[in-house]
């Protein structure tokens, strides 16, 4: 398969598409044929050499993806071949295929393309886990979002409003504030 390989720390010019080995599916993993991936700040830090992937993770960048389940490990019951999914990865999204622990895989929301779904896991998991699970933000409460026009910020605005929360934002310009509205 093909993957984007970081040939040495540096700028975008150090990225090269190369032939690499296909990943092997573990007992608790899903093999995803990637249809789309996203670009995260951590990917650029990995490329620069300042944020190596976790031990045991794919050496290729890419922290989220969307695609089609190509195979499942023997302990996986939630997913089947052909399912359209998106996933939060520890790396490997810049490849044709990636193996992912089954618990890090999400269904592609109905009406969302694979391209759109590829940018969903990181922001959704970050906002939901920190704002709603840990902080227990609830309907009727007020929520201040700094940097409201960022990817995390725009998702937080939408989900908070959907949950019945009153939202205030800060942003670096009037144009960004208008975008937040």
Report yes or no on 22 lying in a domain.
Answer: yes
| pLDDT-derived band at 86, boundaries 50, 70, 90 | very high
Instruction: Tell me phi and psi for residue 95, to 5 degrees.
Output: -145, 170
Q: 95 with 154, same domain?
A: no
Task: Compute how many other C-beta atoms are within 10 angstroms of the C-beta atom of residue 121.
Answer: 23
Last residue of a domain, one of 86, 119, 152: 119
Distance (Å, whole) CA 104 – CA 29? 9
The arrangement of strands across the sheet holding 64-72 comes to 97-101, 29-37, 64-72, 84-88, 105-107
Q: 115 with 159, same domain?
A: no
Last residue of a domain, one of 87, 119, 151: 119
13-58: per-residue pLDDT in tens? 999 999 999 999 999 999 999 999 999 888 999 999 998 888 988 9
Q: 38 with 82, same domain?
A: yes
Report yes or no on 131 lying in a domain.
Answer: no
Report yes or no on 90 lying in a domain.
Answer: yes
Q: 148 with 73, same domain?
A: no
pLDDT for 56 equals 87
How many domains does one find in the chain? 2
**Alpha-helical segments (H) within 7-150:** 41-48, 114-117, 120-127
Q: 29 with 103, same domain?
A: yes
Q: 16 with 95, same domain?
A: yes
Distance (Å, whole) CA 32 – CA 106? 12
Distance (Å, whole) CA 20 – CA 35? 18
* CATH number, domain with residue 77: 3.90.180.10
| pLDDT-derived band at 77, boundaries 50, 70, 90 | very high
Report yes or no on 27 lying in a domain.
Answer: yes
pLDDT for 165 equals 98
Report yes or no on 127 lying in a domain.
Answer: no
Q: 86 with 150, same domain?
A: no
| pLDDT-derived band at 67, boundaries 50, 70, 90 | very high
Question: Is the distance from CB of 52 to CB of 9 less than 8 angstroms?
Answer: no
Which residue range forms the structural domain that includes residue 23? 2-119
DSSP SS3 for 44: helix
What DSSP string describes 112-166? --HHHHTTHHHHHHHHIIIIIIIS---TT-EEEETTTTSHHHHHHHHHHHHTT-E
Distance (Å, whole) CA 161 – CA 143? 10
Tokens describing residue 68:
């089609």
Q: 14 with 96, same domain?
A: yes
104-163: per-residue pLDDT in tens? 999 999 999 999 999 989 999 899 999 999 999 999 999 999 999 998 999 999 999 999
pLDDT for 120 equals 87
Say which DSSP state 95 is in. Answer: B
Task: Compute how many other C-beta atoms are within 10 angstroms of the C-beta atom of residue 172.
Answer: 10
Q: 28 with 67, same domain?
A: yes
pLDDT for 15 equals 97
Q: 17 with 61, same domain?
A: yes
């Amino acid at each position: 398969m093909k993957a984007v390989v970081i040939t040495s720390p540096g700028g975008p010019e150090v990225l090269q598409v190369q032939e690499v080995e296909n990943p092997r599916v573990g007992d608790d993993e899903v093999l995803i044929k990637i249809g789309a991936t996203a670009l995260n700040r951590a990917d650029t830090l990995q490329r620069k050499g300042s944020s190596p992937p976790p031990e045991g993770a794919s050496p290729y960048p890419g922290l989220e993806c969307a695609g089609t389940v190509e195979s499942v490990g023997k302990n996986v019951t939630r997913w089947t071949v052909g399912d359209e999914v998106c996933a939060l990865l520890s790396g490997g999204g810049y490849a044709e295929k990636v193996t992912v622990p089954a618990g890090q895989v999400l269904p592609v929301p109905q009406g969302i393309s694979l391209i759109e779904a590829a940018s969903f896991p990181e922001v959704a998991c970050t906002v939901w886990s920190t704002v709603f699970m840990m902080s227990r933000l609830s309907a009727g409460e007020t929520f201040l979002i700094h940097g409201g026009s960022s990817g995390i910020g725009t998702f937080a605005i939408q989900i908070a409003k959907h949950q019945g929360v009153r939202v205030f934002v800060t942003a670096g310009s009037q144009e960004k504030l208008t975008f937040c509205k």
